[in-house]
Amino acid sequence: MRYIRFSSVAAVAAIVTCVTGGPAAAGDDDPSTPVPCYTAALTNAISGASSGDTLSLARNCTYHLTSPFSTGEGLPTIAQPLTIKGNGATIVRDGNATPAFRIFHVLSTGNLRLQDLTVRGGNATTATGTGNGGGILVDSNGKLTLVKVDVIDNTASLNGGGVALSTNATANIRRSWVAFNNALSGGGVFSQGRLTLDNSEVGRNHAQTAGGGLLQFGSGAFIHASIISRNTANVGGGGIGNSGGAVTTIIESKIANNTTPGLAGGGIANSGAGSRVELDKSEVSGNVVGGLGGAGGGIHNSGTTTVLVLNGSKVIRNSANGPGSAVAGGIYNNNGLVTLDHSHVRNNASTTAPGGLRTNVPITLTASTITHNIPTNCVPLPIPGCTN
């Protein structure tokens, strides 16, 4: 697998503030509209854009938003199809800006495509709007595409520090980095819509409740060749929270080194009627649940109609290391439907037994192993194929 992160030292060094209003990147044969390197030019270009237009930002420019365009909004709202070619530029809420405002807001009729751009420092609060989507908010039925975009250092008082998708909204995030964002829930991304995450990284985000990296609530997410890493959530789902009947499919990806000091799922917390998580050729590793009586360092699965399926996947080196009865460093299942097919749960640890997999209902194992976990592999329910 190949994980691509486009925020490197070289890239950061290349992002400089343009003070002379240098030329935009579009050439004579480029049909896009060039946007000079000053904020008024950017807001005017977005306001005046027609449906289907493409704007080309000044190469490596930093557009400082020092005040909101309208209440709670850093830029004009997007109500039509619009493409913005960043050319390595940054759009940032200036550190000296007093009012809180997000960066982009895509309305229900909007279809925004961003590429080669950094979206930074947005702040969505209930005092100036919905409190959702510190970096980017997409309304119901709106559409968002990110290609080689860094969404970093954004904050939301409610949901989606980096990106928030409303019900029936759609987002396609490719070769991008969502990092260092904060929210009440869904620190990196909060989604009630249809989310595709491809060849991207969601890392070092924080949620005060659930879903440090991603909270998918209802609808579905498709995650491919991506990494969800080093996120934190105070209550559960340090890496991913999946609930409300959401269906999340994870293929050739890694959920690694996420943490919750709470009770459920250092890596993944899957709960709620009809919620389903399927991992295919993926790895859940190095995640930690650290709360008193915490359960499921790697994965926490709970609910009579909640489904967890692992195909050719690994749950390894996770831990439930909190005090008291912290249990199941690997997988904790409470009444859910669990299937492991050619998958492995090993080298996980917990304060109390078992360290590998705990379930109170029968599960299905096919050509799978639960081994080398501490202090035991699986109790209290006997699992065919698992010995302590």
Q: What domains appear along the chain, each with residue ranges and CATH number?
A: 9-371 (2.160.20)
* pLDDT given at position 29: 64
Q: What mean pLDDT comes out for the span 222-233? A: 98
Pick from 226, 192, 229, 232: nearest CA to 212:
232
Interior/surface letters 32-61, b for 16+ CB within 10 angstroms, e for the rest: bbbbbbbbebbbebbeebeeebbbbbbbbb
User: Which residue type occupies 385?
Assistant: G
Both structure tokens of 331:
């997988």
The secondary element (H helix, E strand) that includes residue 324 is: none
Q: Percentage of the chain surpassing pLDDT 90?
A: 86
Instruction: Tell me if 185 sits within 8 A of 214, measured CB to CB.
Output: no
Pick from 165, 33, 151, 184: nearest CA to 106:
165
Q: Is 266 left (phi over 0), alpha (psi -120 to 50) or beta?
A: alpha
- Secondary-structure breakdown of the chain: helix, strand, coil percentages, each rounded to the nearest 5: 5, 45, 50
Number of helices followed by number of strands (H, E) in the chain:
2, 41
* pLDDT given at position 166: 98
DSSP symbol at 210: B
Burial (0-12, 13-18, 19+ Cβ within 10 Å), 94 = middle
DSSP-derived 3-state class of residue 139: coil
Instruction: Tell me if 133 sits within 8 A of 107, measured CB to CB.
Output: no
Rounded Cα distance between 376 and 366, Å, is 20
Pick from 272, 255, 106, 288: nearest CA to 188:
255
Whether the pLDDT of residue 279 is over 50: the answer is: yes
The secondary element (H helix, E strand) that includes residue 47 is: helix 39-48
Whether the pLDDT of residue 5 is over 50: the answer is: no
Rounded Cα distance between 174 and 145, Å, is 8
Place of tokens 């991304």: 189
DSSP-derived 3-state class of residue 42: helix
Angle at 233 between CA 377 and CA 5, to 5 degrees: 95
Rounded Cα distance between 55 and 266, Å, is 41
pLDDT digits (tens, 9 = 90+) for 72-130: 999 999 999 999 999 999 999 998 888 999 999 999 999 999 999 999 999 999 988 89
Q: Percentage of the chain surpassing pLDDT 70?
A: 92
* pLDDT given at position 8: 34
pLDDT digits (tens, 9 = 90+) for 306-317: 999 999 999 999
Pick from 177, 235, 170, 168: nearest CA to 204:
177
Pick from 281, 273, 261, 386: nearest CA to 331:
386
Both structure tokens of 145:
């595409």
pLDDT digits (tens, 9 = 90+) for 122-162: 999 998 889 999 999 999 999 999 999 999 999 999 999 99
* pLDDT given at position 14: 32
pLDDT digits (tens, 9 = 90+) for 332-363: 999 999 999 999 999 999 999 999 999 999 99
CA atoms within 13 A on the CB side of 228: 38
List Cα–Cα distances, 66 to 91, 122, 137, in angstroms.
11, 11, 19
User: Which residue type occupies 345?
Assistant: V
Q: What mean pLDDT comes out for the span 62-69? A: 96
Rounded Cα distance between 361 and 206, Å, is 33
DSSP-derived 3-state class of residue 37: coil
Angle at 93 between CA 87 and CA 94, to 5 degrees: 105
* pLDDT given at position 323: 87
Mean pLDDT check: name the lowest of 40-44, 59-63, 124-128, 212-216. 124-128
